Structures are given as structure tokens and as C-alpha cells.
Amino acid sequence: MKDKVVLITGGTSGIGKALAFSFGGAGAKVAFSGRNPQGLALTSQELSAAGVDNLAIQADVSVEEQCAQMVQQAVTKYGRLDVLINNAGISMRALFEEVDLEVIRKVMDINFWGTVYSTKYALPHILERKGSIIGISSIAGYRGLPARTGYSASKFAMHGFLETLRTELLHKGVHVMVACPGFTASNIRNTALAANGQQQGESPREEGDMMSAEEVAARILRATIQRKRDLVMTFQGKLTVFLNKWLPGLTDKLVYNVMAKEKDSPLRK
């Protein structure tokens, strides 16, 4: 990663921020985006204090024009782009029969279209460098999770998009990886949208029992250097993918029971 240029969407908190420090600590120049100017300024200050050459870019990845400008700002400053990490994301928790459809549209706009827009404008530069395109996904992209229809749909769509792109680029030297952290201690559950579109404000899961964002970032860094195709990080995640493929009926019941145990779960037996 020495002197390579990395662009990370959603880089001001959680996994995105940890990725900025991880790749920056490995010698990369880090451009990162976010919507909150205060979060961008604070993260930039922290990265600079750690000796990381960085560029903070205010951008909403659900807006195509802002994604184009985001890529252009990174390339203008550093003259190249080696790695794009599509990390920006939002979750939701509500039964489909109760959810406002605007919630699903918003989740798809950020998680799926944000990946499409960012990748579209970054691709010419990644092709030139024979670099990497990374999607930060979820086990929800392999196995639909109840009360998370919009989130699961967005991650399934991301998987299909990146798998197709990887195949198109098979002989062009570009590395495409889908990384699935499993449950990670971050703010994504606190900011997850409820049925009415409001943030739920409190994680329904025990965050202390999860992988740290820093551990997730370190694994993604290693996998990027090794140019891995897929990265499923937890035993629970690997087991879920395996069972869903070979015993889907049983997996329906197991997944339902696990998700029903969440605090204030909307699932009802």
C-alpha cells in the first residue's frame, strides 16, 4: 500500500474510519467521504496527527453528481486512484408489512446506488492502475434477514453488481472483492431506520460481544493486498452461508429464532 491512493466512502465513523487508519498506517494516501462536515474535519485531524496523508471530501453517495465530484477531487489531489472501498451504508429494522417504502428506497439509494455511482466514476482510474474495487457488504447479502428487507435487498444487489463487474474485468487486471464483516461494533445499528424512517437510536444487539471495527479493517487490508475474491470474517457468517446453501429450510428457522431474540424485535412467533 506504500504511496497508493485509496478512496473510502463513509469514512468518518465505524468501519470506514478504521479503514482510513488501517490503509493509511500501511503507507497509503487516503481520501475519504462523508456527509457531516464536523465528522470529516475531526477524522482528517486525527489522520494527520497519525501521519496519514489524507483528503476529506463532503459527499452524499446517493447523489450521482456528488460521487463524480468525489472521485475527481481525489484524483485531482493525488493524480491517481488505486483502491476504491465502497463502505458507505445504512441499515433498517422493520417488518415489511409495516415499513414505509421510502425507507427501502433510501437504503437502496445509499447502499446499492452509492456503490454503483462511485464505482462508475472510479473505474477508469482503477483500470489504469490495475487496482482494486472493494464492497463492504454483509451476511445479509448471502442470506435474507427478517425485519431487514431493504438492507438485505441492497446487499444482495451489491453482490450481484460486483460479481458481474468482476467477471467483465476478468482479463483486465482489476481486483474486485466483497467483504462481509458479520456483526461489528459500529454505529450502523444505532443509525438504522425504523418503520417510519426515523433512526432507531439504540443498538438492539450487544455490541461488546462483536468484532471491533479495527479488527475488521485489518482483515480487509490484508485481503486487499492478497487480492482475495471474497472475505467472510466470522464463524457464524461462514456457517450461515454454508447452511443456507445446503439446508435452506432449516436456516429459515434458525435465522428467524436468532433475530427474534434481539431487543425489541418486531418479529412475533
List active site positions.
Answer: 151
The sheet carrying 132-136 orders its strands as 54-58, 29-34, 5-8, 83-86, 132-136, 175-180, 230-232
Measure the CA–CA gap between 196 and 216, rounded to whole angstroms.
Answer: 31
How many whole angstroms from its chain centre is CA 161?
14
How many whole angstroms from its chain centre is CA 166?
17
**Which phi-psi region, left, alpha or beta, contains residue 203 (left: φ > 0; alpha: ψ -120 to 50)?**
beta
Measure the CA–CA gap between 101 and 114, rounded to whole angstroms.
Answer: 18
Spell 53-74 as b/e; 16+ CB within 10 A means b: bbbbbbbbbbbeebbbbbbebb
Measure the CA–CA gap between 25 and 213, rounded to whole angstroms.
Answer: 15
